[in-house]
Amino acid sequence: MLSITRNLARPALARAFAPPSATAALHTLPELPYSYDALEPYISKEIMTLHHTKHHQTYVNGLNAAEDALSKSKSVQEKINLQSAINFNGGGHINHSLFWTNLAPSSGDGGKLPSGPLKDAIEKFFGSAEDFKKQMNAQTAAIQGSGWGWLGYNKSSKALEIVTTANQNPLLSHSPIIGIDIWEHAFYLQYKNVKPDYLNAIWNVINFKEAEKRFLEVA
């Protein structure tokens, strides 16, 4: 799953230094591995539909437009001027692509942390699964404005750590294991301004099976 980040980010960096005649490959909206109503009652069908088909699609469109403009740019200044759009929309595309697959219906893998390497690591670094969720919720809720809460793996310290990123910045300091979108579009239609209710609910649809796969790729 971490290959998503590499596959999305590396072509963008390569094209940034490509000649003006280079043609940017189109990014596309990934299909969800479940239906829009599959995460109810924890995340509504309305939110999932809008979040995926409107918000994520907007990041995909913005990234494609910025990369197309970059491929046609003729000066260094033009390339520099496009970097913020590439970073913002590229980050949004990467983050959401990771987000969809670290969710699963509660009738399936959602919300279930099985015995195994990830559970052992969570208990080692946070004491218990419940203590981990409380810490993750607290740090994610404390984000000022929009952003993401992450459970990341620090390759230097070989530790699981909770990290936050602002806006649509992807997680670069750690390998992403679990990501939680705390932008208002992810919860406001259902939970209004009560972030704690959304954060408590989302654990019922967190795909710990996928999270463990990501963990085993990097640990």
**Has 181 been labeled as part of a binding site?**
yes
| Other beta carbons less than 10 A from residue 62's beta carbon | 18
Distances (CA, A) of 123 to 6, 25, 92, 140, 191: 29, 43, 31, 20, 30
Q: How far is CA 8 from the centre of its chain?
A: 13
DSSP H or E stretch at residue 197:
helix 195-202
**Has 37 been labeled as part of a binding site?**
no
Task: Name residue 1's amino acid.
Answer: M
Tell me the CB-side half-sphere exposure of residue 134, using CA atoms within 13 A. Answer: 6
Beta-carbon contacts of 213 under 8 Å, excluding residues fewer than 6 positions away, are 1
**Has 174 been labeled as part of a binding site?**
no
Q: State phi, psi for 207 to the nearest 5 degrees.
A: -90, 90
**Has 185 been labeled as part of a binding site?**
yes
Closest CA to 95 of 216, 181, 1: 181
Strands (E), 82-158: 147-154
Rg (CA), the chain: 18
**Which residues are documented as binding site for Mn(2+)?**
51, 96, 181, 185
Residue numbers belonging to the annotated binding site: 51, 96, 181, 185
